[in-house]
Structure 1
Amino acid sequence: MTDTAAPSSLPDGQALAALVAGKLCHDFISPAGAISSGLDLLKDPTAQDMRDDAMGLIEASAKKMVALVAFARVAFGASTSAERFSGAELGELVAGLTEGGRATLDWRVEAGDYSKAQARALVNLAYLTMAALPSGGAAKISTERGEAMKIEGVAEGARARLKPEAVAGLSGRPLSEGLPGQWIQPYWLWLTAHDVGGTLEVQADEGRVTLTAHMPN
């Protein structure tokens, strides 16, 4: 699948912001709700025998929430004061978000600094590579510096696949059917690459999905 130009029917700035906000709310609601449930158990005098379970739930959910917020600040936000990011800290963001999943992460990102646009493309591409392995497998994320920076994610597993919504978003096409929450992050990755004059390519074969972004240095 080759990179395509965006049609005019794609969302404008306000609609795009609403879709990103909806995606973030969907991600945050699960750990936030789990923290609330854990606190309710702690306050329930009839459930004191579940105190340890409640504390474990709160601790795990708070860790997940922190990982989500840290990832979102780079993947979607522009408020972070950092203008450049190291490969190691970006790897920690992705690992923190995908920890406990069925797929394994092989982080082969070169050392050195990455611009804000490169960092945004890298973490989103890494996340979507992991997401292409719902039944488990191996995800390899790598970068290569040259005239342009090559960012590649390879997902290999028995059921490696991309949902139709993701295929549309990664191609810069509007969502025709399906769930907007599963379209917006792939489209955001495409938009991130195109906004700085880069490209995004997708190849999906049986048991293997490859995402490749070329970003200017």
Structure 2
Amino acid sequence: MTDAMNDNVLPDGQALATLVAGKLCHDFISPAGAISSGLDLLKDPSAQDMRDDAMGLIEASAKKMVALVSFARVAFGASTSAERFSGVELGELVAGLTDGGRATLDWQAGEGSYSKPQARAMVNLAYLTMAALPSGGAATVAARKDGDALVIEGVADGPRARLKAEAVAGLAGRPLEEGLPGQWIQPYWLWLTANDAGGSLDVQVDEGRVALVARMPN
């Protein structure tokens, strides 16, 4: 457990930045390492018979890295100068990051446009909905207006749909008592995004089903 999580207190300022940076480094290191390995193979005179495999590894890893960076700019950063994002654009960000996984994504939030806080909540909620299906299943993400609120709902249906204890704590805005900070920070970031915007986050876990619902000011 990192110093940022000592004494079971919620991180703030530099401690929060440390945890987010740690997660991003963890996410980026795998495709970055694979690209490096592929380049090493290309330069190795004794491995020229593996050139096609090396190029395939580099191409797939570069695609994964671009997807990770594009997602992170919206999920954790300020992204571009754009103040609003289309639902189609956000769906492409999530699909680019989760393609190839065991779960399928049904994106029902393609209509309309969303503010930065709404977009940040939506992509994080969608990612965590997919992550609740480690053994496969169907994830549905939808958005609808409810009076002065935007309701974003992610539903994960699958035989082993679940949330880790770290994720449950983070989604409730609680400090991490034990476990891995890397598994806690993104759920906590989602809760923080909704809370700081004046919204709320509800979680329901049943056998074979996980539902995440964020209400954001519209």
Listed as ranges, the matches of 1:115-134 within 5 Å are 115-134=115-134
**2:11 aligned counterpart, secondary structure:** coil
Residues 79-98 of structure 1 mapped to structure 2, 5 A cutoff:
79-98=79-98
Which residue matches 1:77? Answer: 77
Maintained 8 Å contact 2:38/2:55: yes
Instruction: Extract structure 1 runs of 4+ deviating beyond 6 A.
Output: none
Find the counterpart in structure 2 of residue 4 from structure 1: none
Aligned to 2:202: 201
Q: How much has 1:9 moved relative to structure 2?
A: 2.4
Counterparts of 1:9-20 in structure 2, within 5 Å, are 9-20=9-20
Q: 1:12, CA displacement in angstroms?
A: 1.3
Do 1:103 and 1:137's aligned partners in 2 also have CA atoms closer than 8 Å?
A: yes
TM-score by structure 1 length? 0.95
Aligned residues: 210
Looking at structure 2, the residues matched to 79 and 97 of structure 1 have their Cα atoms a distance apart, in angstroms, of 16
**Cα distance in 2, alignment partners of residues 141 and 92 from structure 1:** 13
The equivalent residue for 1:163 is 164
For residues 43-100 of structure 1, the C-alpha deviation after alignment (integer angstroms, 9 at most, x for no partner) is 0000000000000000000000000000000000014211100000000000000000
Encode CA deviations 1:128-154: one digit per residue, 9 max, x unaligned. Answer: 000000000000000011220000000
Deviations 1:16-61 (A, max 9, x none): 0000000000000000000000000000000000000000000000
Give the distance between the partners of 1:115 and 1:146, measured in 2 at CA.
Answer: 16
Q: Which amino acid aligns with 2:125?
A: L
Could you say which residue in structure 1 is the equivalent of 2:4?
none
Give 1:32's aligned amino acid: A
Q: 8 Å contact 1:110–1:144 — kept in the other structure? A: no
What secondary structure, in the 3-state scheme, does the structure 2 residue paired with 1:204 have? strand
Partner letter of residue 130 of structure 1?
Answer: M
Determine whether 1:39 maps to 2:39. Answer: yes
Amino acid at match of 2:12: D
CA deviations 1:107-133 (Å, max 9, x no partner) are 001511100000000000000000000
Could you tell me whether the CA contact under 8 Å between 2:91 and 2:110 is conserved in 1? no
| Secondary structure of 1:189's aligned partner | helix
Question: For the Cα contact (< 8 Å) 1:68–1:97, is it kept in 2?
Answer: yes
Contact 1:94 1:123 in 2 (8 A): yes
Code of the aligned partner of 2:103? A
Residue 181 of structure 1 corresponds to 182
Name the CA distance, whole Å, in 2 between partners of 1:117 and 1:171.
18
Could you tell me whether the CA contact under 8 Å between 2:76 and 2:120 is conserved in 1? Answer: yes
Give the structure-2-normalised TM-score. 0.95
Structure 1 unaligned blocks of 5 or more: 1-7
| Unmatched segments (≥5 aa) in structure 2 | 1-7
The answer on whether the counterparts of 2:86 and 2:110 sit within 8 Å (CA) in structure 1 is no
Q: Which amino acid aligns with 1:115?
A: S
